[in-house]
Structure 1
Amino acid sequence: MSNFDGDAFRVVSWNVERNGAGCGGSDERWHLAMDVLAALRPHVLLRQELKRADMHGGRALWAEAARLGGHTPFLAEAGRESANQTGVYIDRDLCQPVEFHQYTAGMWHPVCNPVVRIKGAPGKLSLASFHLSFFCPDQRASEARRLTTLGGPGKAAIIGGDCNSNPHRSDDEKAPLPVWSKIDDRAHFEHRTFERNGERVSDTRPDEILAGERDRRPPVFKELGHYAATVLDQPEALAPTSSLWREDQGPMRRIDRIYATPQVAQALTRLEAIVNDDVREASDHCPVMATFSLSRLRRVLAPDARTAA
């Protein structure tokens, strides 16, 4: 696990299944998840499956913010067919919120997107939590294209979430693509494959759209697991993240990922999937933590640095 030095800026993305709700309404898993997060001490937390966190005046949302140490919470509205919401928590001592957006059109789960200024940095940093469709490869591709608008020219962004799909550079991964002939769950096959060149293949399109390089052009985002493994020589950054619970859908995959615009990625120092007994009990997903050098991040957020990147 990363050392907590004074130059660290920690961003965690975590899908806590059903927001920690257990059988019979038990909240034991939620409390365990909060213990995990309190130990990680994120400056930014990108959350998925904040199920019904807006109920009772946002009671669950504010309770989580308090357990993080008094972070400022942001919550996107629920989708039309899902009560699982996306949210972002920011450390108010380091990040000053200046804007808040949410994106609903065409999204299975609306995207939560606050924009902040990091103290000591002149430029703005866009932060987004997303949760792509679990059942429709075509919708995931459309959702990924929507997310590319957060990484347009001159923008600085860190986005993360549950991609419900595989990284496109499969040869580099610790977990190879599924062998679908060995997986009996037909619905899962339909959810996670699409047709390419006349055959059904694993869905990697969201990652291709967000972080693929085409015609020698740079990607919109750097996928930080691949960046850490190849640029920072951290092969453990490619550890799979889900599912910790299910075995009927094949081996674990790296479906939870964090992306950053290329100039922001240059400030990354470490990327890791956190897994221990508490994580396994709290959720079927591992939290993913990206640690940046705060001093480098402040430099790349200068307007002239963003333009040059």
Structure 2
Amino acid sequence: MIRVANLNAYKLHPRDVATQGWEARVTAIREVGPDVLCLQEVLVDEDAPEDASEDGIVDEAKRLRRWDSQAAAVIARLAQDCGLSATTIRPGDSAGPVAMARNAHRPWYTAVLWNPTTVTPVPGGFRPYGSPDYWHGCTTIQLDIGAQSPLLVVSYHGDPFRPDFRANEARRLKGAFRRTGGAKPGIVLGDFNSISAATVTVDRVERLYDEEPYRDQDHDDLEYQCVPETIGDTNLADRRPTAMLLRRGFMVDAAAHVGAPWQPTVGHWADGQGDPDPWGRRRIDLAMATRPVAPALVGYRTHRSPAAEAASDHLLVVVDIDPSRIHYEAEGGLTVRKFMTPGRQWGRPDGPDEDWIRPHVLWLPQDQPQVCAYFAKLREITSQYPDVISSIAEEDLHMTFQKINPQVAAGSRVDDAMLKAAAVAVQRELEALEPFTVEIGPARASGSAGIVEIWPEQGPAELYQRVRAGLTTAGLGLPPAEEFFWCHMSCGYGVQDTDTPKLAARSDRLASDLGRRVRPGIRTSATISSVWLAWERQVPDRNTYTFERVHQLHLGQSRQPQPATPNGADTYATEK
């Protein structure tokens, strides 16, 4: 087991060495006993007399050397006092610099430390980043933790004042972890200065892991944390940075992923003890692991002790990783993982049958021969890899526009009467949206499925928003809205984790075949003129979804006249 921890050390300065505050930091770190420690907020004086020549002109190169020398000394001393190391190894196996990084314009540092008896730095695996990529420095290093391949560890400190810049930093972070067709085994820990977008399922309802912390606040600093158009109203947290990392399962939030009880990482210092804090209790110190590492996350907690509370205005975050469970990924390729994992399943084998059924809004292509023919070609490919992916039958093809929570706010289960009312509300929203044409394809292997892209995005995105508006009007509960609706279809679902070299090679071959063997004709076109309110059933033993059509809802003027029901209320097509 490898323990990875994070600490924003609150303005750790050379003058703090051997003080009471220093001892609190050392004690808190030793209490945790990390194998890897990510550190933020080490700083030195920006200006010093020795930076200038005799005529008073500042030698910029000399000043930067002083910054680095003083910061390295503090980090190395902290590592020594905690039984850790921060000395990197160069490609020729000689000792390298301290694993730290800074912004080019301010001497604020991040760093990575490790236990040299359990973890070894990979020669040449250290790379520091500064501006323009990050407002604070960002430290990255490859560490050998006993897994099949090195773990990329990143210590990150988000821009405190600019939500847009934090979103761009997250995009750059994602770039550090990506590889062609997938993600490197890695984890980023740090003070993100923002709230996570991770969700959890509670009582079969998906909700945000971190509730909205700013809803009842009113002060001058909300611009630094909230979605601009919500300031002074709902004060919604700007969650774009982590939403970008979490999208399509590229990363997971360790706390939400392991189901740890929610705990704040800041808010325990009163004003006057550090910087004024108008924000209250929040969780902004995060641990985000890539797809290959997600199955290896076995523990998460926030470390709270007298020493930890005295050490910093941020508490230590602690993550336990089992290196043997980190997935193998073929170099340059993508390993497909099991799709229908326990965490994704709606019900339990010993639970009620109704738990496996949930309401959805779907587009169904079975009446468009060209779409069915296109997916038949994809099935010819996926059927040759039954050890990697299960094919989706023609009758089960669908595009999901909206999941609907199986229960309403009052706790009662959604029933046919509620869907009928929702159908009326959604139909009203769709009358102003005319049918549109999309291109379907190309197909590609994704993390746990065969994905088929949809383009252009504008029509599906507007349809998504109108469907949500109608369902909300009808009082149905919905998962949090996607910032950018990801419109796609699937041609197959992963049957197992391809985490051996043989299976990974098969997965890599599948990805190649999906990319080239469907040619010519890597795309087809379709007209979206209606969607269905449907009962969708998850079928784990078949690794698929089936559905029962309930209400057909038409876009714009494409709606055909329907015979009225006895009460004359229904004006949409209905099928049972």
TM-score band (shorter)? 0.7 to 0.9
2:269 counterpart SS class: coil
Please name the residue that 1:83 is paired with: 107
Q: Percent identity?
A: 24
1:91 to partner: Cα distance:
2.1
2:36–2:113 Cα contact (<8 Å) kept: yes
| Distance (Å, rounded) in 1 between the aligned partners of 2:129 and 2:31 | 31
Match of 2:311 among 282, 296, 309: 282
Q: Pairwise mapping of residues 33-52 of structure 1 onto structure 2 (< 5 A)? A: 33-52=25-44
Q: Which has the higher helix share?
A: 1
List per-residue Cα deviations over 1:143-192 (Å, max 9, x = no partner): 01100013312411011100111112474436533125x332x0x21211
Aligned residue in 2 for 1:10: 3
The residue identity in structure 2 corresponding to 1:227 is: H
TM-score, normalised relative to structure 2: 0.46
Contact 2:28 2:305 in 1 (8 A): no
1:194–1:158: structure 2 CA closer, same or farther, 3 Å change rule? same
Corresponding position: 1:227 with 2:243:
no
- Quickly say closer, same or farther: Cα 1:154–1:256, change in 2 above 3 A: closer
Cα shift readout 1:98-146 (whole Å, capped 9, x = no counterpart): 2111222331012100112223x33121010000000001100000110
Show the counterpart of 1:194.
Answer: 227
User: Quick one: structure 1 residues 60 and 22, their matched pair in 2 at CA, closer, same or farther if it must change by over 3 Å?
Assistant: closer
Q: Which residue of 1 aligns with 2:245?
A: 210
Please say if 1:264 is aligned against 2:272: no
Relative to 1, partners in 2 of residues 1:109 and 1:57: Cα closer, same or farther, differing over 3 Å? closer
Aligned position for 1:162: 191
In structure 2, the CA distance between the partners of 1:138 and 1:169, relative to structure 1 (3 Å rule), is: same
Shift in Å, 1:289: 0.3
Choose which of 177, 183, 192 in structure 1 pairs with 2:213.
177
Identify the match of residue 136 of structure 2 among 95, 104, 109: 109
Cα distance in structure 2, aligned partners of 1:245 and 1:194: 26
What secondary structure, in the 3-state scheme, does the structure 2 residue paired with 1:227 have? helix
Q: Which residue of 1 aligns with 2:165?
A: 139
Which segment is superposed worse, 195-204 or 29-38?
A: 195-204
* Residues 49 and 85 in structure 1, CA contact (< 8 A), matched pair in contact too: yes
> Is 2:20 the partner of 1:28?
yes
Shift of 1:45: 0.3
- CA–CA distance in structure 2, aligned partners of residues 145 and 261 of structure 1: 14
* 1:19 matched to 2:19: no
Contact 2:71 2:109 in 1 (8 A): no
Residue in 2 that maps onto 1:63? 77
What is the number of equivalent residue pairs in this alignment? Answer: 284
1:176–1:277: structure 2 CA closer, same or farther, 3 Å change rule?
farther
Moved over 6 A (4+): 20-23
Greater Cα shift, 171-180 or 287-296: 171-180
In the alignment, is the contact (CA less than 8 A) between 2:11 and 2:43 conserved in 1? Answer: yes
Letter in 2 for 1:133: D
* 1:93 and 2:117 correspond: yes
Contact 1:123-1:303 at 8 Å conserved across structures: no
Aligned equivalents of 2:278 and 2:18: distance in 1? Answer: 27
Q: How high is the TM-score relative to the length of structure 1?
A: 0.82
Return closer, same or farther for 1:56/1:156 CA change in 2, 3 Å cut-off: same
Q: CA deviation at 1:266?
A: 0.5
Structure 2 CA distance for aligned equivalents of residues 242 and 71 of structure 1:
27
**Unpaired segments ≥5 residues, structure 2:** 45-66, 88-97, 200-206, 272-276, 338-576
Distance in 2 (alpha carbons) for counterparts of 1:158 and 1:143: 15
What's the CA shift for 1:302?
A: 6.5
Q: Does 1:118 align with 2:145?
A: yes
Higher relative contact order structure (alpha carbons within 8 Å, sequence separation ≥ 6):
1
Distance 1:165 1:174, change over 3 A: closer
Tell me if the contact between 1:9 and 1:294 (Cα under 8 Å) persists in the aligned partners.
yes
RMSD: 2.7
Cα gap change, 1:225 to 1:20, in 2 (>3 Å): farther
- Structure with higher Rg: it is 2
Rate the CA distance shift 1:22–1:225 in 2: closer, same or farther, 3 A: farther
Paired residues of 1:122 and 1:303 also in contact (CA < 8 A): no
Whether the 8 Å contact between 2:159 and 2:166 is mirrored in structure 1 is yes
